[in-house]
A and B are shown apart, each in its own frame.
Chain A
Amino acid sequence: MSLIDESFLDSDKNLKNIRLKNSNRLIIAQLNINSLRNKFDFLVQIMSNNVDLLLVSETKIDSSFPNAQFHIAGYTMYRRDRNLNGGGILLYIKEDIPSSLLMIDDYFEAFYVEINIRKRKWLIGCTYNPKSSLILTHLDQIGKNLDKYVLTYSNFLLLGDLNAEPTNPTVHDFCQVYSCKNLIHENTCFKNPQNPSCIDLMLTNMPKSFQSSLVLETGLSDFHKMTLTVMKVFYKKQNPNIIKYRNYKNFDNNSFMIDVKDKISQISGENEISFFDSFKNKVFQVFENHVPLKTRYVRANQAPFITKKISKEIMIRTRLRNKFFKTKKETDREKYNKQRNYCVSLIRKEKNNYFSNINIRDITDNKRFWKTVKPLFTDKIPTKSKITLIEKKVITQDDEDDIITEDIISDDKTVSEVFNDFFVNIVSNLDIKSELDFETTFIKSNDPVADSIRKFQTHPSIVMINNKNYISDLFTFNEVQFDNVLEKIEKLDKAKTSQQTDIPTKLLKQNSRYFADIFSKNINYCFENSDFPTELKLADVIPVYKKKSKNVKDNYRPVSILSNISKIYERVIYEQMQPYFENLLSKFQCGFRKGYNAQHCLIVLIEKWKKCVDNGGAFGALLTDLSKAFDCLSHELLIAKLNAYGFDKKSLTLVYSYLSKRKQRVKINNSFSSWQRLSFGVPQGSILGPLLFNIYICDMFYFLENYDIANYADDTTPFSVKQNHDLVVEDLQNSSAILFK
């Protein structure tokens, strides 16, 4: 066994050593891998946190390979493919280094990425030149692109397999013109073992920023070695990912329940108002004692079928190959080929084994199956746990141009604070005037519900609702039965996330009868006193990425994680409100309703269009976009609208108490921001939210009665069917004028 040493294990060791020596510096590497698809798993093993920036060339993949398949946890990826038979480059950058793609070259295999390190911007050019004869045109194009960015970026680093030695006159000229230097001086390519060449180059105009450039054998590529350099910059690494989880090992449900009942009997004498909040806290305390919280570090993704045996055989393969390259003997070649074929068949066998051992009907197996299979099919990369933001600040100076500074925020805690500020102040940032600054003179009283009704008494929406609907019976919440609550608890989804201070859904379900009893009493108490428990109004908000740059906060939407008990309460309220509004809601509203879907909305639009064009008419539609529709709904106006729809005082107060005094904090990994009050909007992620939103926009359709409209949630599309196009435009202008109001 002592004979088995060398490259595979060795490279890992070397990389590790380099990392240990330069733990706070940036390690940059590049490798010509010659087909990534089968070597990806080994690449992950070698790289895992040892390299900060890696360029892989000759990936030999095309667009049918989803990004998720080559995703390495903790790294951002940029790629430019050629086809399955050759070419293609792919760049991995650590997630905590803010980076953005500047440009992808259409004709040459090259792209340019900007990275921010310690407030300094670097231009990283990545390229692959497939033929040595093409070097002149290739470098010409790179030079042109560098010229474009020369003003913004004073530092650049050009990585790539140029297929030309640094002594090549073209490369030499290039270095002279752009005053850059090559960092790699050893031979990297051993295609011709007798005459190895140095063609994987790293060119930079700041050679002093780099140190200890070297060449490593990885055993991954066919002829190429990995080239590596270390940037002399101090950059603080982020803490490893930590998962918090509960240890159910010694948990016993019976003793848990005994303790709970014991604790609760102590507080049952207290007054009812504070009962619920203390109830939840007490149960949670007992739970903490029974099920301790543990933490665990998260490792990077591992290939499930790479066994120890495989890595050992691959080590042997590399050793045999090196030997054959040295000696050039026929016997060595045979040995190497044999071992190579054996390795391939072994990997296939292990993969086969892995998948045939999975039984899809088994739940844990099923999870495992989808986890390994999904990255091969979908482009969805697992949610990015770390978020790095770049904040632009404009400093206005007298008599001079504004200075724009960029702050890089990567600390979880600070990022969460920034997000919370942003989410809470969405409304003031949008400056919505018409609806919210509705001015009427009225005397403020202590009753906010009555106030808001009076404030909006003459609001056009309220007047319209009053005109349109005749309400004979006022809506009020009915007492809820034990069985109903029990059913709600049974229906809760165990897989859904809940807050950290929640009693787990699993335990609620196990002891559903006990909890249903308490909750049903408490819900009835809430209905009676029109008060929603404050404990259930706290929301953990997670920012969910939408599109475009990941470093800009505007590209995230807030999704509230609510307590699972809140879900039970909300569902009870929802079930009573929903039938009442089913007939009141406009028939055009297709979103969030049972029996309706987006297809219905589209069918109406398309069919009317076809019919009209068939009859020789004209058609036009205006696709509108409401900005942050859910987040800037006004509570007072909603209450006024509910009043107009016939809610009685008690139920109004309950809904008002549900909406008002909500607090939220942003959660990123395990860091939380401070709590902030939310005075607008319905929480995204709640059960009542969509229904309240539908009620809020419902009166819009009363105003648009003479116009055609298609609506799905916040997607409102006024359209028009007329004899000719001019009439259509006129119609659309009229309807949108109403809509925009």
Chain B
Amino acid sequence: MKINTDKSHLIMSRNKSIVAKIDEFDIQSENQQELLGIVIDSNLTFEDHVSKICKKASQKLNALARVSSYMDIHKKKLLMKSFITSQFGYCPLIWMFHSRTLNKRINSIHERSLRITYSDKVSTFQELLEKDNSVSIHQRNLQILATEMFKVYKNMSPELLNDIFEPKESCYKLRANSFFKTRKVTSVHHGTESLSFLGPKIWDLVPLDIKQSDNIDIFKDKIKRLSFPECPCRLCKVFIPQLGFI
């Protein structure tokens, strides 16, 4: 098979600029590149990717606002699901660790779309979510993560993921028994904000009865109603004046 050297790209961590000689061609390393539909930048912030999908979603949101006066709630709900919230549905586990500003942006798009759908001008975001019987995008991402963990737990996921989420090899039955090993981390951005760290933590937060669901469909059904207020990640911290984000 022939490889297109002009279309091959090199990406290095920490924005390091390097020219690598590969197959007699010099390839310059780049700051960001699209792989499988996700824009990956060398610092793994995913800022560009999230802004891109936000922009897309907000364009569709404007379109929804334009036709909203002609539609009833069911049709609007359908349109919102298929054009706006679906934008955040592709590979969410990859880009879920983004900055607070972007989280705010995602939430405001979500809020606006709900407001238009239910033609509700007064309720808060939380009330709107309750009305819609759904959760915020970040919480939904955590649910997806929990589902992925369930698959690893039940041995249903590809072999590949077993290297990342390793089960604990412990003969002791401790009270705070968790199934997965927790990774030792040194930094925030590449440490605590990684799936291998957050995954086991989230799995510990899932109530026991949901954990022991028989199959994936039951699990998915149950997890839909669950939210993770104690999520340890940066986005779930609440701002308290004089103290900062806690």
Which residues of chain A from 76 to 108 have a CB within 8 Å of any chain B CB? Answer: none
Contact across chains for A66 and B63 when beta carbons are under 8 A apart: yes
Contact of A352 with B70 at beta-carbon distance under 8 Å, contacts A587-B158, A607-B164 already known? yes
Q: For the complex, give the distance between the alpha carbons of A430 and B1 in Å.
A: 10
Shortest beta-carbon distance from A636 to chain B in Å: 15
Among the listed B20, B91, B161, B195, which residue makes an inter-chain contact with A729, where contact means beta carbons less than 8 Å apart? B20
Contact of A590 with B4 at beta-carbon distance under 8 Å, contacts A610-B190, A623-B11 already known? no
Contact of A599 with B183 at beta-carbon distance under 8 Å, contacts A607-B195, A627-B3, A715-B35 already known? no
Shortest beta-carbon distance from A346 to chain B in Å: 14
Task: Give every chain A residue within 8 A of B66 (Cβ-Cβ).
Answer: 37, 376
Shortest beta-carbon distance from A684 to chain B in Å: 15
Interface bits B24-41 vs A (CB < 8 Å: 1, else 0): 000101000101111010
Contact across chains for B13 and A607 when beta carbons are under 8 A apart: no
Task: Give every chain A residue within 8 A of B8 (Cβ-Cβ).
Answer: 622-625
Contact across chains for A613 and B190 when beta carbons are under 8 A apart: yes
Q: For the complex, give the distance between the alpha carbons of A656 and B187 in Å.
A: 55
Contact across chains for B13 and A619 when beta carbons are under 8 A apart: yes
Say whether B219 faces chain A, with CB atoms less than 8 Å apart.
Answer: no
Task: Give every chain A residue within 8 A of B44 (Cβ-Cβ).
Answer: 606, 609-610, 613
Which residues of chain B from 175 to 207 have a CB within 8 Å of any chain A CB? Answer: 183, 185-187, 190-191, 193-196
For chain B, the bracket of interface size reads: 35 or more
Contact across chains for B160 and A587 when beta carbons are under 8 A apart: yes
Say whether A712 faces chain B, with CB atoms less than 8 Å apart.
Answer: yes
Say whether A740 faces chain B, with CB atoms less than 8 Å apart.
Answer: yes
Contact of A602 with B158 at beta-carbon distance under 8 Å, contacts A614-B194, A623-B11, A715-B35 already known? no
Among the listed B10, B11, B23, which residue makes an inter-chain contact with A740, where contact means beta carbons less than 8 Å apart? B23
Contact across chains for B93 and A603 when beta carbons are under 8 A apart: yes
Q: For the complex, give the distance between the alpha carbons of A351 and B66 in Å.
A: 12
Among the listed B14, B22, B37, B64, which residue makes an inter-chain contact with A613, where contact means beta carbons less than 8 Å apart? B14
Say whether B74 faces chain A, with CB atoms less than 8 Å apart.
Answer: yes
Contact across chains for A622 and B10 when beta carbons are under 8 A apart: yes
Shortest beta-carbon distance from A692 to chain B in Å: 14
Q: For the complex, give the distance between the alpha carbons of A358 and B74 in Å.
A: 11
Q: For the complex, give the distance between the alpha carbons of A514 and B28 in Å.
A: 62
Which residues of chain A from 320 to 371 have a CB within 8 Å of any chain B CB? Answer: 348, 351-352, 354-356, 358, 360, 369
Say whether A626 faces chain B, with CB atoms less than 8 Å apart.
Answer: yes
Contact across chains for A599 and B20 when beta carbons are under 8 A apart: no
Contact of A733 with B22 at beta-carbon distance under 8 Å, contacts A604-B161, A606-B44, A626-B4 already known? yes
Closest to A725 in B: B16
Contact across chains for A607 and B36 when beta carbons are under 8 A apart: no
Contact across chains for A629 and B1 when beta carbons are under 8 A apart: yes
Contact across chains for B67 and A618 when beta carbons are under 8 A apart: no
Task: Give every chain B residue within 8 A of A675 (Cβ-Cβ).
Answer: none
Closest to A729 in B: B20
Shortest beta-carbon distance from A716 to chain B in Å: 9
Closest to B159 in A: A587
Contact across chains for B27 and A622 when beta carbons are under 8 A apart: yes
Interface bits A571-588 vs B (CB < 8 Å: 1, else 0): 000000000000000011
The segment out of B75-83, B99-107, B131-139, B227-235 that lies at the interface is: B75-83
Contact of A598 with B37 at beta-carbon distance under 8 Å, contacts A65-B63, A622-B9, A733-B21 already known? yes
Contact across chains for B160 and A588 when beta carbons are under 8 A apart: yes
Say whether B12 faces chain A, with CB atoms less than 8 Å apart.
Answer: yes
For chain A, the bracket of interface size reads: 35 or more
Which residues of chain A from 607 to 664 have a CB within 8 Å of any chain B CB? Answer: 607, 609-616, 618-629, 632-633
Most buried by A among B33, B35, B59, B74: B35
Contact across chains for A595 and B156 when beta carbons are under 8 A apart: yes
Contact across chains for B11 and A621 when beta carbons are under 8 A apart: yes
Task: Give every chain B residue within 8 A of A378 (Cβ-Cβ).
Answer: 83
Closest to B21 in A: A733
Shortest beta-carbon distance from B16 to chain A in Å: 5
Say whether A64 faces chain B, with CB atoms less than 8 Å apart.
Answer: yes
Task: Give every chain A residue within 8 A of B186 (Cβ-Cβ).
Answer: 614-616
Say whether A235 faces chain B, with CB atoms less than 8 Å apart.
Answer: no
Among the listed B22, B58, B163, which residue makes an inter-chain contact with A622, where contact means beta carbons less than 8 Å apart? B22
Say whether A435 faces chain B, with CB atoms less than 8 Å apart.
Answer: yes
Contact across chains for A728 and B1 when beta carbons are under 8 A apart: no
Contact across chains for A369 and B1 when beta carbons are under 8 A apart: no
Say whether A732 faces chain B, with CB atoms less than 8 Å apart.
Answer: yes
Task: Give every chain A residue within 8 A of B18 (Cβ-Cβ).
Answer: 620, 725, 729
Among the listed B11, B40, B157, B191, which residue makes an inter-chain contact with A595, where contact means beta carbons less than 8 Å apart? B157
Among the listed A614, A628, A715, which residue makes an inter-chain contact with B190, where contact means beta carbons less than 8 Å apart? A614
Question: Could you give 29 example pairs across A and B, Cβ below 8 Å?
Answer: A64-B59, A66-B59, A348-B70, A373-B67, A376-B66, A377-B64, A588-B160, A593-B158, A602-B35, A602-B91, A604-B160, A604-B161, A606-B44, A607-B194, A607-B196, A611-B194, A611-B196, A614-B187, A615-B186, A621-B11, A623-B10, A623-B33, A697-B1, A717-B35, A725-B13, A725-B16, A728-B12, A739-B3, A740-B3
Give me the interface of A with B, judged by CB distance under 8 Å: 37, 63-66, 69, 348, 351-352, 354-356, 358, 360, 369, 373, 376-378, 430, 432, 435, 587-588, 590, 593, 595-596, 598-607, 609-616, 618-629, 632-633, 697, 712, 715, 717, 725, 728-729, 732-733, 736-737, 739-740
Lowest 6 CB-CB distances: which A-B pairs, in order?
Answer: A619-B13, A64-B62, A625-B7, A614-B190, A610-B194, A587-B159
